Chain A
Amino acid sequence: MAVTSSASAPREPLRRDRAHKYIGGVCAGLGRHLGVDPLVVRIAFVAAATAGGVGILLYAAAWILIPADDAREAPAGPRVRRGRAAIEVALGVGLLTLSVLLTMRALGLWFSDAVVWPVVLVAAGGGLLWRQSLRATPAETSAPAVGAPEPALDERRRERNRVLSGSGLGAALVIGAGVFFLYATNSLSAARDAVLAALVVAVVLGVIFAPWMVRLVRSLSAEREERIRSQARAEMGAHLHDSVLQTLALVQKRADDPRAVAALARTQERELRAWLAGREGGHDRLAAALEALAGEVERAHGVPVEVVVVGDRVLDSHSEALVAAAREAMVNAAKFGGGSTVDVYAETGDGELQVYVRDRGPGFDPAAIPQDRRGVRESIVGRMARHGGRAAIHSAPGAGTEVELTLPETS
């Protein structure tokens, strides 16, 4: 009778994750290996560090014994468990850490109740607050991609409730740590008087400044909505330029070939319908997306496009914008590169994703681009800036052109 383990998925090898490290990448590597949120592992190590320094010793040993990964091959982010599995793992790690703490306390390897328990609570609460703030940031600061399906209202409400409940629990743990510390050091009554005085001052100031605060909040909210609308308009403009306007230019160029014109129109219609339905692209990895675009540009413009990708990764909304900017750079190179081969080189690693598009054509002066031309200005430079990246054009008359696109990796 053979007995096999019931592991649900093959685990990644145990390596220190240098791409997502704070110190040595031990916690990030352990989290990735186990499929556990690295935050849980970090809190466990901080808590164990307060128990006679056990956590520090364990971390140092792991740093020495566990080999580091190759940061250039690091994936976009660790795959962590979600839902009930995540809760079970977090509770399990928490209880195991608590058992270590209680054991150390029983053995006398202990600083003080007034120090250790507040530190543990602050680590847990602070970690939760940090995580919730990271979860809340993307939705608040970036506009949804035009054409992408809007998340369902229920899903957004559930996500907001998750963030609020996580933040509430984190804040409660930190406040509990403070109260426990004051209680353990017999300072609770003095702190109560101070809190009462601060509360009275806060209420008085609140009554005085409430109308002004409400106006300020409304103004900030309106400004944020306007910024999101403006970003969405810019995204839509860039997309229309890259697709419809480019196709219309090709149609004019091939006006003497009705079959080619019809084929271009059909392709554009399919692409536009897919974009409106929010199912554009179809490639979820960088290399596949760049290869597909290179083939598309080759077919449309009859210019060879060579693609080299070092270190593939899964695409997200930001890296999809990078791919769209690379497509525009490829089209420009094919159109204005004098028929020379277009070289595309993409590389991931060192916390950045970089794509270079190069041609050996006549080159141009980037400063001389007319204001009404949107290709370089909006579809490449503006698009990269809207997604937190940057674009640099290296070109001079007679020296070819290289477009350098850089996007910081999001964890």
Chain B
Amino acid sequence: MTSRRLDLPSFVAGVGMLVFGAVLLADAVNAIDLSLAALAPLACFLVGDILLAAGLTRRD
């Protein structure tokens, strides 16, 4: 049985994209009213998460 390593940055990016897609989908079907004031922190959170995960797992 082989052991596979979890690539944390990819995992975080994937989950973030899923959440982002779900929010956009909810906006498209008018379930929520997405404004720039709400989109900006979400985008910052998504990119910040990915960068943090990448930095914390990088082997320098």
* B-binding residues in A (CB < 8 A): 1-8, 34-36, 81-103, 105-106
Contacts and interface: CB of A to CB of B under 8 A. Distances in A.
B38 interface: yes
Contact of A85 (B2, B37, B58): B58
23 contacts: A1-B4, A5-B8, A6-B6, A81-B56, A83-B60, A84-B60, A85-B56, A85-B60, A88-B51, A88-B52, A89-B52, A91-B51, A91-B55, A92-B48, A94-B48, A95-B45, A95-B51, A98-B41, A98-B44, A99-B40, A102-B37, A103-B41, A106-B38
A97 B52 CA distance: 12
Q: Is the interface of A mostly helix, strand, loop or mixed?
A: helix
Interface string B2-28: 111111100000000000000000000
A83 B41 CA distance: 27
Contacts of B50: 92
A96 B2 contact: no
B3 A2 contact: yes
A91 B47 CA distance: 9
A96 to B, nearest CB: 4
A89 B45 contact: no
Contacts of B47: 95
Contacts of A1: 1-4
B48 A88 contact: no
Nearest to B7: A6
B26 to A, nearest CB: 17
A91 B56 CA distance: 12
A325 to B, nearest CB: 36
Given A106-B37, A106-B38, A92 B51 contact: yes
Q: Chain B interface secondary structure, helix, strand, loop or mixed?
A: helix
A5 B4 CA distance: 9
A95 B49 CA distance: 8
Please indicate which of the listed interface residues A2, A3, A88 has the most CB atoms of chain B within 10 Å of its own CB. A88
A89 B8 CA distance: 14
Contacts of B8: 5-6
B55 A96 contact: no
Given A88-B54, A105-B37, 7 more contacts: A3-B3, A3-B4, A4-B3, A5-B5, A8-B59, A85-B55, A93-B52
B57 A96 contact: no
Contacts of A90: 55
B48 A102 contact: no
Contacts of B41: 98-103, 106
Nearest to A9: B59
A79 B33 CA distance: 45
Nearest to A90: B55
* Residue of A35, A90, A98 with highest tally of chain B CB at under 10 A: A98
A88 B6 CA distance: 19
Contacts of A92: 48-55
Contacts of B40: 99, 102
Nearest to B2: A1
Closest 10 CB pairs of A and B: A95-B48, A92-B52, A88-B55, A89-B55, A92-B51, A99-B44, A102-B41, A96-B48, A99-B45, A85-B58
A171 B37 CA distance: 29
A93 B45 CA distance: 9
Nearest to A95: B48
B52 to A, nearest CB: 3
A2 B4 contact: yes
Contacts of B58: 8, 81, 84-85, 88
A287 B48 CA distance: 42
Contacts of A91: 48, 51, 55
Nearest to A82: B60
A33 B54 CA distance: 16
A5 B6 contact: yes
A203 B58 CA distance: 49
A204 B6 CA distance: 64
Contacts of B48: 91-99
Contacts of A85: 55-56, 58, 60
A91 B48 CA distance: 7
Given A89-B52, A106-B41, A8 B5 contact: no
